[in-house]
Amino acid sequence: MNAELETIAQKMVSDGKGILAADESTSTIKKRFDAIGVESTEENRRDYRELLFRSDEAMKEYISGVILFDETLRQKAKDGTPLVSLIQQAGSIPGIKVDAGAKPMALFPGETITEGLDGLAGRLKEYYDLGARFAKWRAVIDIGAGIPTPGAVAANAHALARYAALCQEANIVPIVEPEVLMDGDHGIERCYEVTEYVLRVVFGELYQQRVALEGMVLKPNMVVPGKKARTQASVAQVAEQTVRVLKATVPAAVPGIAFLSGGQSDEDATAHLDAMVKLGNLPWKLTYSYGRALQAAPQKAWSGKAENVAAAQAAFTHRARMNSLAALGRWSAEQEAKKAA
C-alpha cells in the first residue's frame, strides 16, 4: 500500500476533527433548498457551499475533509478560486462521492444495490487530478419484513470492496459506508443484529479484494431503534450497543470510524458520538462524517440571502465545534443549552 494513503486516512480522523458531507446530489440538495424556499440553481448551490468552505474557524479547526459532489469539485467561487482550493487552503482534504446511487435490486423486492462501478477507474484518475484525495461509496441496507436478505447484503458488500480496491489503486482513500437505515419500527436489538451481520460481510469482502485496512475509513450507522419504534433508546444505550458491535466486527488496523448521522437530530448525533468516545479503550479513532447534522442549521440561517451569510457561517461553526468536542469526549448538554439561551 502507498504510505500516502495511510497518512491521509490518519489525517481524516485527526483528534477533534471530522468530515463534512457536502456531497448531496442535485436532486437531494433541491429538497433541502425547497425546505428553506431557495431555488436550486447552480449559482445558489455554489454560493451556499462557498459560504461553508469560507467559514475559517470551522474549516481550519474542526473539519478534516469535505466530501463533494461531482459538480462542486469542478466549481469556482465567485472570485474565480476553485472551491477545491478553498478547502485545501483551510488545511482540509477534498473528497468525492463516486457512487451512482442505490437502485432497486433485481429479484430482491424492497432491497437496493448501489451502482457506479462501470468506468470508475477512469473517473478516479480524473478526480485525483482535480484534487480529490479520498472518495465515498454508500451502500443502503433497509430493515423490514424478511429483509435484509443475505443476497442483498453480499452484493452491496462486494461492490463496496471493489470500489475500495479501485480507490487504493488510484491512490485515493476509500470511505466505506454501509448504512443500515433507521427507518421502520424495529428495536435497537434488531438494528444491532443487522449491523453486526453487515459489517462482518463487508470486512470479509474487503479482505477478499485485498483492500489495505490501514488506508481506509469506515462510515457506519450508529445502532439505534427505527424512527417508528415504540421504544426509543437512551444516549447511553446507543453508545454501548454501537461500540459493542464495532468491537465485535471492525479490525484494529482501521485508522478511524467516522459516523453518519442517518437522520438523527443535530443534538442526538452529537450526544451519541460524545458518549461513545467517553466509553474509552477503543482501538480506532471515533469521529463524525455528518451532512444534515452539520448543515441543517446553517441552511436555515442562510435561506438564500447574502445578508445572512455571516449568521449561516456562525451556525455552521457552532455545529462543527459541538461535534469536535464530542469527538474528544468533551461535549455536554449544558454547552448546547448555553447556545440556545
341 vs 335: CA distance, rounded Å? 10
Domain boundaries, the chain: 3-340
- Is the pTM higher than 0.95? The answer reads yes
217 vs 174: CA distance, rounded Å? 7
Q: What is the dihedral of CA 37, 39, 43, 44, to 10 degrees?
A: 20
List, in sequence order, the alpha helices (H) in the chain.
Answer: 3-12, 26-35, 42-53, 56-57, 70-74, 83-89, 120-129, 150-169, 188-208, 235-249, 266-279, 292-302, 309-327, 333-340
**Residue in 17, 97, 219, 285 annotated catalytic:** 219
**Residue in 177, 179, 205, 285 annotated catalytic:** 177
Predicted pLDDT of residue 111: 98
Predicted pLDDT of residue 280: 94
Burial environment of residue 280 by CB neighbours within 10 A (0 to 12, 13 to 18, 19 or more):
exposed
Per-residue pLDDT tens listing for the chain (341 residues)? 689 999 999 999 999 999 999 999 999 999 999 999 999 999 999 999 999 999 999 999 999 999 999 999 999 999 999 999 999 999 999 999 999 999 999 999 999 999 999 999 999 999 999 999 999 999 999 999 999 999 999 999 999 999 999 999 999 999 999 999 999 999 999 999 999 999 999 999 999 999 999 999 999 999 999 999 999 999 999 999 999 999 999 999 999 999 999 999 999 999 999 999 999 999 999 999 999 999 999 999 999 999 999 999 999 999 999 999 999 999 987 777 766 54
Q: Say whether 177 is catalytic.
A: yes
For residue 154, which of 198, 220, 109 has the smallest C-alpha distance?
198
CATH code that applies to domain 3-340: 3.20.20.70
Distances (CA, A) of 324 to 15, 22, 40, 270: 8, 17, 30, 9
Q: Which residues contact 18 (CB under 8 A, 6 or more apart)?
A: 62, 63, 64, 258, 287, 288, 289, 290, 320, 323, 324, 327
Q: Which residue has the cell 471492525?
A: 250
Q: Say whether 240 is catalytic.
A: no
At 332 the three-state DSSP class reads: coil
